Amino acid sequence: MRLPIFTACLVAVALATLGAAPAGPPTPSLPAATGLNFHQTPQELAASCDAAIATAKAAYEKILGAPADKATFGSLQAIETAGADFNDATAVPGGLWELSPDEAVRKASGDCFQKVSNYNVEVQSDPRINAVAEHVSTLGGVPAPAGTKLVEYYVVGGKRAGAGLDPEARKRTTALFQQLNDLELKFAQTLDNEIVTISITPTEARSLPASFVALLKKTAQGYVVPVDESTYGQFMINESSSAARKRYVIAYGSRGGIQNVQRLQQAVAVRDELAHLLGYHSWAAYQLEAKMAKTPDRVESLLNTVSEKLLPKALSEIAALTVYKNSLGSPGPLRRWDYGYYENKLINSKYAVDEQLVRQYFPVDHVVTSVLGIYQKLLGVTFAEIAPADTWAPGVREYSITDTASGKPIGWFYLDLYPRHGKFSHFANFPIRPGRVMPDGSYQKPVSAIVGNWPLPSAGKPALLSHEEVITFFHEFGHLMHSTLSTAPYETLYGTSVRPDFVEAPSQMLENFMWQPSILKEVSSNVKTGEPLPDDLIKKMIALKHVADGYDWSGQAFYAQYDMTIHSSGPKIDVDTTWFDLEKKMTPFPGTPGTHPEASFGHIMGGYDAGYYGYLWSKVYAQDIFTRFQKEGLENPAVGAAYRKDILEPGATVEPDVLVQNFLGRPMNPQAFYSDIGITQ
Ligand SMILES: [Zn+2]
């Protein structure tokens, strides 16, 4: 899922060390098929941003000039259209800040993004829009389910934005939301633009794969290793020097710096004040009202149940790994920076699954083609690559989507898969423009993108992916399908705009596919021989799947508990000591002194605040949804079609519990989740 982390480029650093930025194609004389123009100059971006805000202001004033008690459902639809027009007009100028290879474009786009965010805060808390929504909610004749759900979203949204408050309190909430936006923006900017590295000696480089070392900058003393998500996995499992791994972990856990700790601390205080002004006793209570879970109590109860069962499991996994480490002649306890290295070694010896060997079966091109092939078959859609692609950076690929049965065009998507300096630093689906019914009755076609940071190919060799990277791609592509195959009539209710604690469920469900032998054969092709993954290797990979369930899920429960704790304990809770206290209590490893990992915990400064539990929560739904595929066939197009119709198409027009019940033919139950992670009730 795309995390709405904010950024722009304020730090003047050397331009693009990776994929340096040649000028994009010249401004096309005709608009691209998508209708989106990615080739605007910084001046043009700024101008189109300001023009969009002016147009939106004029549109709202025209609608809101009439008294609210005369408003009809049509008035609310007009408000929705004004907002959707604004979002569409600012999608590119306000979206290139974490995509463009050009620093000046990123800067202009970041400025636009900030203006757009601030303006949205103003609109959401506008008492006149709230008055229209409140009035329309008393009228009959609103079409169900999309119309009534739209009214409900506006009423609850207005309340949560403080639109019903007196002018002074409203002014204060608007200022606080804007302050929060600024803090979140600066938090993300710092992470996207800082360059964190460690130096290693030629001896320390010896245990790293040659293809990895080939990409490192060489110095007189050795090599410089970039410390980020694109190197973390490869470095931590291969580097044989404990001291080098420790340096890496400390650098990784120090990203964001003390300034991001302070921003998070300030954000917690701002959120707490906001919650109280809006009539909630904590930020967590405020956030949960708009979610499936509804109350912090329900979340706490799930976290307690799960973590109680998981910690003993995690501790026994670590104990076994410590024995293994000691048996290799390395005495003493297992540290955090030892975990990946020894886990990989144990895996290689006990299960003989060599991560480097598995990578040989996942060359990028084959993975992309076969994953796209699976989605096409399963969901009844056809993708066609567009050449030349019309995009924001060299190397980004563009595709059209059509409905296979009817031949009807549906929309477009982009694949932007490799790192560049200044680019978004994770792997996510970016819904660029949602679908919706336009005022003339036509349907606006959606546009979405996968933005990722796969390892770069080295000279003459294709990039090879780990199984985990393949799963991530499959997961994110599942979000992309949600954000392009939805048929919801309103942007507010479109695609992935579902309840935030449900949004991960469809993609978490899809991850199960990447553990099925028939699917693994389909997505693999040895880079030298073209053979699919052999049966015995697949068997070992599957045997391995649950090896670290305790460690992994206790980590997830810890992140979720940290998030809930700092957002339900008042404004003064110390975000730094709370991290270390809870980590010690809930996970097998104490925190590493000298680090402050919360400074790079982008989720809680990018829209997942008091919401991180959603990964675990929605996993419960995911595993239950998957049971129908298990029973009726993984690549059964009839089940795929039902999934598209019951889960993906409605977007937020139908509540998640009802979507799942429609698909399964019964209410959700958590059995599949518990048995999947080895908890017997
Ligand atoms: Zn996701």
pLDDT tens string 364-390: 999 999 999 999 999 999 999 999 999
pLDDT of residue 28: 37
413, HSE (Cβ side, Cα atoms, 13 Å): 28
pLDDT of residue 1: 36
pLDDT tens-digit series, residues 482-512: 999 999 999 999 999 999 899 999 999 999 9
Lookup: tokens for 518: 């028939």
Residue type, 476: E
- CA 189 / ligand 1 centre spacing (Å): 22
- CA 446 / ligand 1 centre spacing (Å): 19
- Percent of the chain exceeding pLDDT 70 equals 95
| 476 is annotated as an active-site residue | yes
pLDDT tens-digit series, residues 280-298: 999 999 999 889 888 898 8
pLDDT of residue 611: 93
- CA 472 / ligand 1 centre spacing (Å): 8
Distances (CA, A) of 375 to 152, 368, 424, 626: 33, 11, 25, 16
Torsion of CA 613, 616, 621, 622, to 10 degrees: 130
Of 476, 491, 504, 598, the active-site residue reads 476
Structural element, H or E, at residue 406: none
Distance CA 490, CA 530 (A): 45
- CA 1 / ligand 1 centre spacing (Å): 4
Q: Using an 8 Å Cβ cutoff, are 243 and 210 in contact?
A: no
Average pLDDT rounded to a whole number, residues 198-215: 96
pLDDT of residue 553: 87
| DSSP assigned state of 334 | P
Lookup: tokens for 324: 């293994």
Residue type, 301: S
- Percent of the chain exceeding pLDDT 90 equals 78
Instruction: Give, to the nearest 10 degrees, the angle between helix 167-193 and helix 257-277.
Output: 160
**Angle at Cα 262 formed by Cα 257 and Cα 268, nearest 5°?**
130
Average pLDDT rounded to a whole number, residues 448-461: 90
pLDDT of residue 18: 26
Q: How long is the chain? A: 681
Residue type, 310: L
- CA 475 / ligand 1 centre spacing (Å): 6
- Concatenated DSSP letters for 235-262? HHHH---HHHHHHHHHHHHTTTHHHHHH
- CA 500 / ligand 1 centre spacing (Å): 11
- CA 40 / ligand 1 centre spacing (Å): 30
Q: Using an 8 Å Cβ cutoff, are 579 and 562 in contact?
A: yes
Distance CA 465, CA 483 (A): 25
Query: Residue 23: is its pLDDT beyond 60?
Result: no
pLDDT tens-digit series, residues 70-128: 999 999 999 999 999 999 999 999 999 999 999 999 999 999 999 999 999 889 878 99
pLDDT tens-digit series, residues 629-643: 999 999 999 999 999
Query: What residues contact 387, with CB distance under 8 A and at least 6 apart?
Result: none
